[in-house]
């Protein structure tokens, strides 16, 4: 599920980066790109990963709460 969300969000993050201007521009000594490259791709990976981790944590803690003899 996380991988699918990341794949779906990556193009959206790229378009948002181009629109907002969060890009790596060509030129300079260490630049290898010939056109502008979006720099928000990590966001498309980070948020689904954190959502999956949060759901897993919620599922684990919720299950333990049901097993608690109190």
Digit-coded pLDDT (tens) for 11-37: 999 999 999 999 999 988 888 889 999
Statement: residue 67 has pLDDT above 60: no
**C-alpha–C-alpha distance, residues 2 and 54, integer Å:** 12
Mean pLDDT for all residues in the chain: 87
What is residue 13's predicted lDDT score, i.e. its pLDDT?
Answer: 95
CA distance 53 to 45: 12
Query: How much is the pLDDT for 40?
Result: 92
Query: Is residue 42 pLDDT above 70, yes or no?
Result: yes
């Amino acid at each position: 599920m996380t991988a699918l969300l990341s794949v779906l969000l990556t193009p959206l993050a790229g378009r948002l980066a181009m629109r907002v201007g969060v890009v790596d521009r060509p030129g300079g000594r260490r630049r290898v790109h010939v056109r502008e490259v979006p720099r928000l791709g990590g966001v498309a990976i980070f948020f689904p990963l954190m959502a999956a981790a949060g759901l897993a944590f919620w599922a684990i803690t919720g299950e333990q709460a049901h097993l608690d003899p109190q």
